[in-house]
């Protein structure tokens, strides 16, 4: 009888209840952050030079409103969510979920921390810390001093990945570089004379979605002269066309080529006699966060030789041609051990082709 009275101890019951509460809260936090990530993805490719951000306002497990950042200069995600509240809605006891740390300085818009405090929100949960030194970590102190409970790092890796282009640009001033190539199974990029395309229409549609995420598309002068490409986004909604960038030793292009004469000719930049690194740095100064290098083989080779590539996206067609131009030229590696290593490789069927994506491992 005495044992029944003493067991379980009261403090153990209290501890169990705390664990149960924390577990339930974490599940709710992760669920709501996934909703915020879904909102943020709506802004990918539209917000440059700002990050894509999503926000969700929740009270008692119920979503009151959602928001995402639409474009540079427009209200931030948390301000959009607050603005959607109905007139009589109260934020007493509410939690604000944001994929990125709220800004705490004046830019094109006032600090979001001020709006959060003024709204009377009780708790703020954000995923990724802002890499911008002007903001990094400041929101936590500001909000806590105002009596707001703050938690960060919920689905942090996913929130960080969402803005990988912007993160690199903010930290280094250099754009994130994706090397894209459409090639035969034996690694050739020159089509037979009677056929322009190596990869399928499905692969080309997929490429348009990738182009819509970038601020600039870069090719070599030889590719511009031989292929006369348009380098535009087609069939996919885009806020504005990416910059079309030609890296050329001579700068000599056909004055009638599409890049210099079409309706987007003011979006074309020609760099003559400069290093590829200096070209990318200049694009970074222009606010370009993500550059897609589409070739040709010499340009891709130079980018890999100089270790300027962060990720590759290769479309491989089920065809062998032999001869022709190799997909990646340049000096190359002296042996297998010094070759570039790939991490997180992924393979996907796109029509009849195979899409290979991977990040470049850094030493």
CA 179 to chain centre: 15
Q: What's the token pair of residue 362?
A: 């850094």
Length in residues, the chain: 363
Catalytic residue among 39, 78, 101, 289: 78
- Which residue, among 26, 56, 24, has the nearest Cα to 40 in the 3D structure? 56
The β-bridge relationship of strands 149-152 and 311-317 is unpaired
User: Across the chain, how many H-helices and E-strands are there?
Assistant: 12, 13
Question: Is 8 in a helix, a strand, or coil?
Answer: coil
Place of tokens 């006699």: 273
DSSP 326: B
Place of tokens 């056929």: 195
**CA dist list (Å): 108 to 69, 112, 121:** 13, 12, 23
Specify whether 213 is catalytic.
no
CA distance 286 to 293: 17
- Which residues are catalytic, by number? 78
């Amino acid at each position: 009888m005495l044992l029944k009275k003493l067991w379980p101890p009261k403090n153990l019951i209290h501890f169990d209840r705390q664990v149960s509460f924390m577990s339930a809260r974490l599940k709710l936090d992760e669920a709501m952050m996934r909703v915020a990530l879904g909102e943020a993805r709506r802004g990918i490719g539209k917000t440059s030079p700002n990050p894509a951000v999503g926000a969700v306002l929740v009270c008692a497990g119920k979503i009151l409103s959602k928001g995402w950042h639409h474009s540079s200069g427009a209200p931030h995600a948390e301000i959009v969510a607050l603005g959607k509240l109905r007139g009589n809605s109260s934020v007493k006891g509410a939690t604000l979920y944001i994929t990125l740390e709220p800004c705490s300085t004046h830019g094109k818009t006032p600090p979001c921390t001020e709006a959060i405090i003024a709204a009377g929100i009780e708790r703020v949960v954000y995923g990724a810390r802002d890499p911008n030194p002007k903001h990094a970590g400041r929101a936590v102190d500001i909000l806590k001093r105002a009596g707001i409970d703050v938690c960060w790092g919920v689905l942090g890796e996913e929130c960080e990945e969402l803005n990988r282009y912007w993160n690199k640009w903010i930290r280094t001033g250099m754009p994130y570089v994706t090397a894209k190539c459409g090639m035969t199974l034996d690694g050739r990029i020159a089509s037979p004379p009677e056929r322009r395309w190596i990869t399928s229409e499905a692969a080309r549609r997929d490429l348009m979605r990738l182009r819509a995420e970038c601020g600039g598309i870069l090719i070599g002068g030889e590719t511009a002269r031989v292929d006369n490409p348009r380098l535009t986004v087609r069939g996919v909604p885009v806020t504005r066309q990416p910059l079309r960038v030609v890296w050329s030793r001579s700068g000599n292009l056909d004055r009638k080529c599409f890049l210099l004469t079409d309706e987007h000719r003011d979006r074309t930049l020609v760099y003559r006699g400069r290093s590829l690194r200096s070209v990318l740095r200049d694009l970074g100064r222009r606010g370009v966060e993500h550059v897609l290098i589409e070739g040709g083989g010499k340009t891709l080779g130079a980018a890999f030789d100089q270790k300027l590539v962060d990720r590759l996206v290769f479309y491989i067609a089920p065809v062998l041609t032999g001869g022709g131009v190799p997909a990646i030229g340049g000096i190359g590696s002296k042996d297998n051990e010094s070759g570039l290593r790939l991490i997180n490789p992924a393979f996907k069927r796109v029509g009849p082709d195979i899409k290979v994506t991977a990040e470049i491992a850094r030493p």
